Amino acid sequence: MSRPIIYITRKIPSSIIKPYEDRFHFRMWTEDDTPVPKDILWKECKHADGMISMLTENLNREFLRSHPHIQIIANNAVGYDNIDIDIARKQQTVVTNTPDVLTETTADLTFALLMVTARRIIEAHQVIENDEWKQWSPYFLAGTDVYDQTIGIVGMGRIGEAVARRAKGFNMKILYHNRFRNEAKEEVLQAEYTEFNELLQRADFVVSLVPLTAETFHLFDAEAFQKMKRSAIFINASRGQVVDEHALYNALKDKQIHAAGLDVFAEEPIRRNHPLRTLKNAVCLPHIGSASMQTRTNMLKLCVENIDGYFYGDGPKTAVTPLR
Ligand code: GLV
Ligand code: GLV
């Protein structure tokens, strides 16, 4: 057979695709750090048999319906809310994601964001940057304890579990809420399953790790923030759209909750004038959950392995839709 054409929507290191070049004809968008423009994406995909996509590509109904010849989409992320998965299923386009390889790295960032927000580390760094350090004083930059506090994890998938393991090391009490209760996990992690509302009421740290679906869209709304403690810190390392950002802004501004640490936003990238950027009690990061050199390389390798497995092997390793 002639080599399948694979379109890669972002510039990735050639070392990742080199071992596969005799089996595939790779084409790639080669401009550094910018998403491929829609017209070029559509043009390139006209003749593609497969693609490696990023979460910046909106592979919606219109795109999928127009490209039924694309047999496999290897999305370089664990989340795949950028793809209309129902349409993909219906027309039997295989979609794969990158679970497992990014679990520990993303849990590290989630816990780091929790600590940075609790202990006001960004503000503290800014004090040094701005040369504003005067004298030691009793409550100067005093934050919130992490150890011994109660963490409430919403979305107890692999990343949620890995965050729970870290929390255990800080002697935290662990509450979780998930679509499915997992009693085996509760035992190992000493985690307590609670209803969503009870978790909001009891947790000192509410951590969102839910995937974005129709059910989780705006899960954290005004009502949810009202239920949280006034001392609560909200952490989001999943998807921006699980939060009603307007409600979060009001909750932070009115001190209904204490602070928030956010790695993700409803519309990315955010700019300086984004309302959440104007608040002192919100720590904002540019969607770097899985961003370590090792993990980002492993994610891309897994994408290529999925494509190779589909065309030449026993099928993709990590498919989220059934095979054709
Ligand atoms: C990143 O947000 C991912 O889903 O991998
Ligand atoms: C999914 O987001 C996971 O927790 O692995």
Measured by CA distance, the residue closest to atom 5 of ligand 2 is 158
297 or 184: which carries more pLDDT confidence? 297
Smallest CA-to-CA distance from 76 within 311, 324, 287 is with: 287
Using most ligand atoms within 8 A of CB, pick from 78, 166, 178 the residue to mutate for ligand 2. Answer: 78
> Tens digit of pLDDT for each residue in 187-198?
999 999 999 999
User: Is this structure's pTM higher than 0.85?
Assistant: yes
Listed in sequence order, the DSSP H helices in 11-102 are 14-17, 38-45, 61-66, 85-90
Report the nearest atom of ligand 1 relative to the CA of 102: 5
Average pLDDT over residues 114-136: 97
Average pLDDT over residues 313-317: 96
Nearest bound ligand to the CA of residue 154: 2
Using most ligand atoms within 8 A of CB, pick from 102, 209, 242, 288 the residue to mutate for ligand 1. Answer: 102
Measured by CA distance, the residue closest to atom 1 of ligand 2 is 157
Nearest bound ligand to the CA of residue 209: 2
> Tens digit of pLDDT for each residue in 77-116?
999 999 999 999 999 999 999 999 999 999 999 999 999 9
pLDDT band at residue 323 using 50, 70 and 90 as cut-offs: low
287 is catalytic: yes
Supply angle C-alpha 70, 95, 239, rounded to 5: 125
pLDDT band at residue 185 using 50, 70 and 90 as cut-offs: confident
Measured by CA distance, the residue closest to atom 4 of ligand 1 is 79
Average pLDDT over residues 294-309: 98
> Tens digit of pLDDT for each residue in 261-298?
999 999 999 999 999 999 999 999 999 999 999 999 99
Among residues 31, 125, 268, 277, the one annotated as catalytic is: 268
- Calpha distance 105→127 (Å, rounded): 29
Paired tokens of 213: 């679906």
> Tens digit of pLDDT for each residue in 197-231?
999 999 999 999 999 999 999 999 999 999 999 99
Report the nearest atom of ligand 2 relative to the CA of 161: 4
pLDDT at 324 over 60: no
- Calpha distance 273→41 (Å, rounded): 30
Among residues 239, 245, 258, 296, the one annotated as catalytic is: 239
- The whole-number pLDDT of residue 73 equals 98
pLDDT band at residue 322 using 50, 70 and 90 as cut-offs: low
Measured by CA distance, the residue closest to atom 1 of ligand 1 is 77
Q: Is 65 helix (H, G, I), strand (E, B) or coil?
A: helix
Backbone angles phi, psi at 289, to 5 degrees: -45, -50
Query: Can you give the C-alpha Rg of the chain in angstroms?
Result: 21
- Calpha distance 246→250 (Å, rounded): 6
Average pLDDT over residues 54-75: 97
> Tens digit of pLDDT for each residue in 17-57?
999 999 999 999 999 889 999 999 999 999 999 999 999 99
Do 240 and 264 touch, CB atoms closer than 8 A? Answer: yes
Phi-psi region of 120 (alpha: psi -120 to 50; beta: other; left: phi over 0): left
